[in-house]
Structure 1
């Protein structure tokens, strides 16, 4: 009697063996070495299998918890073998399952502290072109959302967020957040928001050093023809301007006539939601006790229209603070106009 079907299962790969297998299967996807469709399909199947094994080793599988020593070893091997480069650059040719597994593993790999350092974070810091590649992938609708998830994991680390802010590719976000695809634009905005809010002191330093260029680009978002872009950018503007490290930026912003005019225009927006968001930025201009003469002049010159706009804002009887603030602004604009008449 033959029991050949009771073959022992093959020995599970060690972390080092798995990483080498991952590397080899990703290299096999190179268009120069894959001459036939069948060969490519086989290579993709091998990648899928290896990525699933990596996910199980890093994250566990059902009731089986990951083994810390194996997680550390696979992290070291990924850096040692340069597999992070392949993860990023081969992303456009991976299948759906492989991309999903990679996204799940990416954050875990970055979080692993081996010894006194974050191995993968340090690797990406020394290979910053990987970040730039991920940013440009927002132009590829097939992998844009995967890249967005990977970028937001990177932004959690100040050294990587700093590079992204200061790199030329940062300006691409002003295009990506206004893309016609709602899903991709929303994801790009989530990444953009993380960059501007996760590390307050670092962002403050960046804004101080790049004030004019940044707000010139940001103005395009505030005046976009896209309703969602206008609304999101307004809310984000208020959020990061009110952060305490950005006090100097706030003072500078509310001292410029150009910015006041943008808010006055947005107060007339057809969308009630945008009107309310614009109100919360506009009130800072009016409430500023040290308003420049140019700002006062604009408020006085347009006081009748501004008072009409403020009175016509949607009434929310449950929001007592809003009603109180509206009343204060109306009184301040009336006070400025009366002083001007006397003078």
Structure 2
């Protein structure tokens, strides 16, 4: 058997052959023949990265493959070619990419972090992958797009931003704000995948995120609030959960104080407390409580709370009493006590809140 066993290609041979086949496919060369070759080489690379049924992966061979891939522009060509590959081949391509992103040679960082930093257009391709589904950034669904390519690139983006430097690079790119639009696309799978990437980017690396929020506070939260007001049910629910997590993270304390110091933001939460969907009400509750618990409320915020105090306490007394959640019951009771104990402002502070009659009414 051993005499006739097919000799395995070395990592160097695989890298060269895959690059040549990808370039041939992109240049309109062999067509299906190239597709078959690419599938074969990626399958062999996947076996190196993750092992086979009867053979676990060898770290030395993994490192050699990573080194060979890093020597050329193979990773960039692979990302750019992904939409042209067959479905199963894309899955192997994503697996190989994700495996390579986790290879860290001894006493050295992953070589592909620096590579992707030098090639921001590749990160941008992954960030804007939702547009491959035929749904352009104007939010209109379209036909003929490739949802599977978009979803595959989404998994690759989430793998890339596990590295803080790449996460920071994605946050700095102007295209990042497009994710607000992608999360509201009509195709559920694409919108959900964009939301998963959005959450991963904003929760993985606290330092990079805190810096981003501080530097882009107005633009980011302006779009975030608009999504809470106008998004679909799933988007609003997920976004409220994320907002609560961001505000309660100690790393974001500066941005939290700015957010809960705004009358407009608080009134948005008061309105969401009255949403027809109970799950939206529940998530809004967890954000609203941060406004009430703030010991240093700006006069404008305190004035609105005092104006609505009796109505709010009455509303909270009957708020989701059927929910069997001990922590929620305790937090609701605490919130009602805090509302009862609100101090009177030192001066008669008058607040004019235009275009939102609900701001002085019961939630």
TM-score (norm 1): 0.91
1:177 aligns with 2:183: yes
1:246 aligns with 2:259: no
Q: Aligned ranges for residues 150-189 of structure 1 at < 5 Å?
A: 150-189=156-195
Q: Using the alignment, how far apart are the partners of 2:5 and 2:289 within structure 1? A: 70
Q: Aligned ranges for residues 126-145 of structure 1 at < 5 Å?
A: 126-140=118-132, 141-145=147-151
In the alignment, is the contact (CA less than 8 A) between 2:199 and 2:242 conserved in 1?
Answer: yes
In the alignment, is the contact (CA less than 8 A) between 1:267 and 1:309 conserved in 2?
Answer: no
| Paired residue secondary structure (1:151) | helix
Match of 1:92 among 83, 86, 94: 83
Q: Using the alignment, how far apart are the partners of 1:287 and 1:159 within structure 2? A: 35
Q: Using the alignment, how far apart are the partners of 2:159 and 2:335 within structure 1? A: 42
| Paired residue secondary structure (1:142) | helix
Q: Aligned ranges for residues 160-239 of structure 1 at < 5 Å?
A: 160-239=166-245
Match of 2:24 among 21, 28, 33: 28
Shift of 1:308: 3.8
Shift of 1:240: 1.4
Q: Using the alignment, how far apart are the partners of 2:188 and 2:14 within structure 1? A: 38
1:120 aligns with 2:115: no
Shift of 1:231: 0.4
Shift of 1:100: 0.6
In the alignment, is the contact (CA less than 8 A) between 2:21 and 2:38 conserved in 1?
Answer: yes
User: Which segments of 5 or more consecutive residues in structure 1 lack a partner in the other structure?
Assistant: 1-5
Q: Using the alignment, how far apart are the partners of 2:40 and 2:188 within structure 1? A: 33
Q: Aligned ranges for residues 103-114 of structure 1 at < 5 Å?
A: 103-114=94-105
Q: Using the alignment, how far apart are the partners of 1:259 and 1:326 within structure 2? A: 20
| Paired residue secondary structure (1:62) | coil
Match of 1:52 among 40, 43, 47: 43
Deviations 1:57-110 (A, max 9, x none): 221111212222221111111111210011100001000111011111112101
Deviations 1:276-315 (A, max 9, x none): 1111111111121111110111112233442343233111
Q: After the TM superposition, which of the residue ranges 168-177 and 136-145 deviates more from structure 2?
A: 136-145
| Paired residue secondary structure (1:65) | coil
Deviations 1:244-274 (A, max 9, x none): 1111211111110110011011001001111
TM-score (norm 2): 0.86
Aligned to 1:75: 66
Shift of 1:316: 4.3
Shift of 1:196: 0.8
Q: Using the alignment, how far apart are the partners of 1:137 and 1:167 within structure 2? A: 14
Aligned to 2:321: 315
In the alignment, is the contact (CA less than 8 A) between 1:266 and 1:275 conserved in 2?
Answer: yes
In the alignment, is the contact (CA less than 8 A) between 1:230 and 1:274 conserved in 2?
Answer: yes
| Paired residue secondary structure (1:90) | helix
Structure 1 residues 164 and 307, CA gap change in structure 2 (3 angstroms): same
